[in-house]
Structure 1
Amino acid sequence: MPMPAATARSAETGAEPSLPASTQGLLVVNLGTPQAPTAAAVRRYLAEFLSDPRVVQVPRLLWWPLLHGVILPLRAPRVARKYAQVWLDDGSPLAVYTARLAAAIGERLPGVPVAHAMRYGEPGIDAGLRALRDRGCGRVLVLPLYPQYSTTTTASVADALARIAKDAAELPLRMVDQYSTDAGVVAALADSVRAHWQAHGRGERLLMSFHGIPQRLVDGGDPYSTQCHATATALAAALGLGHGEWLVTFQSRFGREQWLQPATDATLRLLGETGLGRVDVVCPGFPADCLETLEEIALQNAALFRAAGGGTLAYIPCLNDAPAHADALAALVAREFDAWR
């Protein structure tokens, strides 16, 4: 079930033994990414991702033939070409930045072993937990890099942890389920926007684009939309923005059902049609740059904005492994450890 939107809470599995603080570890979890920008690698990744009932809530008997017979054969080559446009020398942007961020958090938590994992793809959550156990951890705090709670993302990590805990209950786990208005993260976001404005100038609007989810889930109690708007409001306040200077949209729609509105692409098209000279776009729900930010926003939606009659779309990068981001998350983790007595 969704967690309340207004509070930051943690979920626990396993029994908590009496352990010295030095035995605690941290597992930083992100969504996942293909291992290579190839159709075969993308197909393997999408097959796992789109097989999760938290992501696609369609009966298996209907979804399986459609997924493997139509969607994957058509989508994998197209998505692979998109990944190729943003691939880094060291690998997928999301994988590179997640690993760097986890390492940076670890540098700020002396004596706490830190590992990273992906909900889909490699390294898997079970492998990350084994690595921490092998390093002597007797309990592990799990930090999903999803600032806003959703049943489609955070709850899926909780599902995986529950399965793992059932098979290997000797390792107690605690999960941070959201940090949508964490003061340190909001301050880091605001600083990154100010730094971008100082270096590149300021647009006429600041558009805050979050990943979308089906409206049906929000109607059923998922707090994601509420938390996205809370993040945006906190960021706008930190930047001193007034009414009309910023707006919230939702991107990455998949399927035919109604998703959260307004849509990022439709909004940018409308702004372009008004002849807006420049719009700045930041993605506060994405801690690390990935296909959805670097290709969908910075390339695809920038072209759409220009084609509609707009001028420049200036994409403001995610926080990635910036020192202020690592500082904020390390402080969050330290508070969670202090609360885990």
Structure 2
Amino acid sequence: MSTKTAVVLFNMGGPDRLQSVRPFLRNLFADPAIIGLPKPFRYLLAEFISRVREKEAQKNYALMGGKSPIEAESEKQRLALQSMLEKEFPDQQLKCFLAMRYWGPGVDQAQREIKNWGANKIILLPLYPQFSTTTTGSFFTHWQKHDHTGLPVQKISSYETDPAFIDAHVEAITAHFSQNGAPPNIRVIMSAHGLPEKIIAAGDPYQRQIEASCAAIKDKLPNALQDMKIAYQSRVGPLKWIGPSTLDGINRAANEKKGVLIVPIAFVSEHIETLVELDIDYRKQAESMGIKTYLRVPALGIAPSYIHALSEQVKAAMKEK
């Protein structure tokens, strides 16, 4: 019997309409990897947070047409990877599927599609380049808890320094810089989603992997883009988060009379953190700080080098026994 390998690309997901915002937020904050309280208290807190944040979140999603673009963006990545794998493995039966952690298409739907296709092997491939217990780790746990396929599963944890992934960022950064006139006196701010310090202190490798990605990218950038800083965005809640914050990084650049080029280093598709937080909120604040040049590099999306990086992860996984 020939092997039929299902490749599951996974991400966090996002609301598909404004009415989905509250249940999406409830699913997010009910995740024990996000809020580590016992179940009844965690669910109560998730319900409370989702109610409190619903209206403001709906305003932000309204700015993007009333829904998150992450499913559509991830679907484009799925199709691009499918096409590349078919060319690289013409004699192999591989099919790419999509699964979102907190909204549709969810794990149950992906597993039904995989069983209907007749797969006998599964590869889980994150659309998170750097591993965190709160993202990739959470998905692995969720998949295992709800797995009704009975199939062997290979897990790809991260690819933070994969050469093609690094090349994809270098190409995106240099292209955006050139397309905007290669302005002088620019600071590159590598902006990643933040995490509470206690998660990193407990052994989460995310910050270390972000730093590894940035170091590898910096090694390949031209001299004009060697002024690089790492910063973290999207803080919520009362806990102390890793820093500096992206806004602090922008403010420091303003004080030093520099322009900024923002790179979403941990986001591979456009969504609320890039289209609203970086493009609207932070841009306005940067202008109020006196920043004259504010550039934001697009997320990698279906950049050929990034899709190649994903295909390399699949190739390596297929060689493992």
* 185-194 or 266-275, which deviates more: 266-275
Q: Distance in 2 between matches of 1:310 and 1:322?
A: 29
1:172 aligns with 2:148: no
* 2:173 paired with 1:198: no
Which residue of the partner structure matches residue 294 of structure 2? 313
Correspondence for 1:85: 63
Deviations 1:73-113 (A, max 9, x none): 2211111111121238xx63211110000110000112311
Counterpart position of 1:102: 78
Query: What runs of 5+ residues in structure 1 fail to find an aligned partner?
Result: 1-18
Deviations 1:200-254, CA, capped at 9 Å, x for gaps: 1335111100111111111111111100000000111121458960000011111
> Could you tell me how far apart the structure 2 residues matched to 1:259 and 1:57 are?
16
Instruction: State the Cα deviation string for residues 49-96 of structure 1 (Å, max 9, x = none).
Output: 110010112344544434323x222211111111121238xx632111
**2:201 matches 1:222:** no
The amino acid that maps onto 2:84 is R
User: What is the Cα deviation at residue 293 of structure 1?
Assistant: 1.0
Task: Report the counterpart of residue 8 of structure 2 in structure 1.
Answer: 27
Partner of 2:119: 137
* Residues in 1 aligned to 2:72 and 2:51: alpha-carbon distance in whole angstroms: 27
Q: Which whole-Å CA distance do the structure 1 matches of 2:303 and 2:59 have between them?
A: 28
Deviation per CA, 1:185-213, whole angstroms, max 9, x where unpaired?
11111011111112113351111001111
Q: Flag the 1:27–1:169 CA change in 2: closer, same or farther, 3 A.
A: closer
Match runs of 1:1-341 below 5 Å: 20-21=2-3, 23-36=4-17, 38=18, 40-69=19-48, 71-87=49-65, 92-110=68-86, 111-165=93-147, 168=148, 170-203=150-183, 204-241=186-223, 245-276=227-258, 278-339=259-320, 341=321
Q: Is the 8 A contact 2:218 2:226 kept in 1?
A: no
* Post-superposition CA distance 1:96-140 (Å, at most 9, x none): 110000110000112311111101100002211221221121111
SS at match of 1:228: helix
Q: Look up the equivalent residue of 1:272 and give its one-letter code.
A: A
For residues 50 and 201 of structure 2, the distance between their equivalents in structure 1, rounded to whole angstroms, comes to 29
**AA of the residue aligned to 2:201:** D
CA displacement at 1:324 relative to structure 2? 2.2
- CA-CA distance at 1:287 after TM superposition: 1.1
SS at match of 2:122: strand
Confirm or deny: 8 A CA contact 1:98 1:321 kept in the other structure: no
| Counterpart contact for 1:282–1:317, Cα < 8 Å | yes
Read off the aligned partner of 2:82 and give its amino acid letter.
G
Q: Separation in 2 of the partners of 1:131 and 1:61?
A: 32
After superposition, the C-alpha distances for 1:286-338 in whole angstroms (9 at most, x for unaligned) are 11111011111111111111111212311101111122221221122112112
- Over the matched positions of the two proteins, sequence identity in percent amounts to 27
Change over 3 Å in CA distance of 1:178–1:49 after alignment to 2: same
Judging changes above 3 Å, is the alpha-carbon distance between structure 1 residues 242 and 336 closer, same or farther for their aligned structure 2 residues?
farther
Residue type matched to 2:267 in 1? F
Say whether the 8 Å CA contact 1:274–1:310 is kept in structure 2. no
* Equivalent residue letter for 1:310: I
The 2-side partners of 1:196 and 1:242 are apart by: 13
Q: Distance in 2 between matches of 1:107 and 1:66?
A: 43
Shift of 1:164: 2.5
Is contact 1:149-1:223 (8 Å) kept? yes
Assess if the C-alpha contact under 8 Å between 2:27 and 2:46 holds in 1.
Answer: no
TM-score normalized with structure 1 length: 0.87
1:3 is aligned to none
After superposition, what is the alpha-carbon deviation per residue over 1:132-181, rounded to whole angstroms, capped at 9, x for unaligned? 2211211110101111111111110111121123xx25221111011111
Structure 2 CA distance for aligned equivalents of residues 242 and 117 of structure 1: 40
User: Does the C-alpha gap of structure 1 residues 314 and 139 become closer, same or farther in structure 2, counting only changes over 3 Å?
Assistant: same
Q: Distance in 1 between matches of 2:28 and 2:47?
A: 12
**Residue segments in structure 2 that go unaligned for 5+ positions in a row:** 87-92
